[in-house]
């Protein structure tokens, strides 16, 4: 289903996926429907969401081969640090019943460890840990020799520039491949998008419908009528047409089907521009802009 975007490490990620979340963001039958009936092959989850075991069960029940899926998981900020990060990823793999993740993200830019500031956790080498930047130390690409438990790595909710890829000069497999943040017609961090593209980092957006707030916008409604599409499809199409990997979340079968039907049409240039003018800076999800 859909298009794929190349990552800096040579892999390709589906530009459209299905998100999960905590607080009711997982329904078993909806995941099965997405995999079996809608052709979804890209699923985003996290330890924080508490649905790893159920998601793993749904994947096995769907019959879709693991090799056909792109699975993203995230490292909670209480597990930052080389040993803790490695163990957390292994535990997530075990809960989901998989051997690896296609993408593993730092979930939040702020650390949650006593006695260390966020900056210290990112940059300081602690006793007994391998040398190098924080990005190099917490990432898990091929840390067990031939067994890769994280094929690509990245960050989530970094509204400031992600940690500099100092490791680019020494070890290309540890390059930050993706920055995943809130992205919709009301939240368009253009400077961050441009920074990521200059650095070769794929930009990924969640909450493309602004948690439903964009569905009643007059501009969105007008375009939905023009193209014979739903407001949700207009918003998602706008996002992927901007080259953003997009992961709408839904727990309803009919909504997932609707959200997947965005590949077979294209918004005109003037309509893309009209949606681009809706930016007002609002956050409908976590606001990480205070993190330094």
User: Which residues are known to be catalytic?
Assistant: 49
Backbone angles phi, psi at 120, to 5 degrees: -65, -40
3-class SS shares of the chain: helix, strand, coil, % to 5:
40, 20, 40
Secondary structure (3-state) at 2 = coil
Please state, in angstroms and rounded to a whole number, the distance separating the CA atoms of residues 100 and 178: 17
**Cβ atoms of residues 194 and 168 within 8 Å:** no
Which two tokens mark 9? 């490490």
Helix or strand (DSSP H, E) at 193:
helix 190-198
Interstrand relation of 150-156 and 176-182 (parallel, antiparallel or unpaired): parallel
| Among 143, 134, 129, CA closest to 101 | 143
Q: What distance, in Å, lies between the first and last C-alpha atoms of the chain? A: 38
Q: How far is CA 288 from CA 50, 91, 104, 210, in A?
A: 21, 26, 19, 16
Residue pair 196/179 in contact by the 8 Å Cβ criterion: yes
């Amino acid at each position: 289903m859909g298009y794929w975007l190349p990552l800096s490490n040579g892999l390709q990620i589906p530009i459209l996926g299905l998100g999960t979340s905590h607080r009711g963001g997982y329904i078993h039958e909806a995941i099965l429907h997405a995999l079996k009936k809608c052709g979804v092959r890209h699923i985003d989850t996290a330890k924080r969401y508490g649905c790893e075991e159920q998601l793993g069960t749904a994947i096995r029940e769907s019959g879709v081969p693991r090799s056909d899926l792109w699975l993203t998981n995230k490292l909670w900020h209480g597990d930052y640090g080389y040993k803790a990060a490695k163990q957390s990823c292994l535990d997530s793999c075990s809960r989901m019943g998989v051997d690896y993740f296609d993408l593993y993200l730092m979930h939040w830019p702020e650390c949650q460890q006593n006695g260390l500031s966020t900056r210290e956790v990112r940059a300081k080498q602690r006793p007994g840990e391998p040398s190098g930047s924080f990005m190099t130390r917490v990432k898990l690409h091929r840390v067990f020799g031939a067994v890769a438990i994280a094929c690509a790595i990245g960050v989530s909710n970094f509204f400031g520039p992600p940690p500099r890829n100092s490791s680019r000069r020494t070890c290309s497999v540890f390059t930050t491949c993706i920055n995943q943040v809130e992205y919709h017609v009301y939240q368009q961090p253009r400077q961050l998008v441009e920074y990521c593209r200059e650095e070769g980092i794929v930009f990924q957006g969640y909450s493309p419908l602004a948690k439903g707030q964009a569905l009643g916008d007059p501009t969105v409604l007008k375009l939905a009528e023009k193209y014979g599409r739903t407001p949700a499809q207009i918003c998602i199409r706008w996002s992927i047409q901007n080259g953003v990997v997009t992961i709408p979340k839904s727990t309803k079968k009919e909504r997932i089907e609707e959200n997947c039907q965005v590949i077979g049409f294209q918004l005109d240039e003037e309509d893309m521009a009209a949606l681009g003018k809706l930016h007002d800076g609002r956050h409908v999800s976590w606001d990480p802009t205070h993190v330094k």
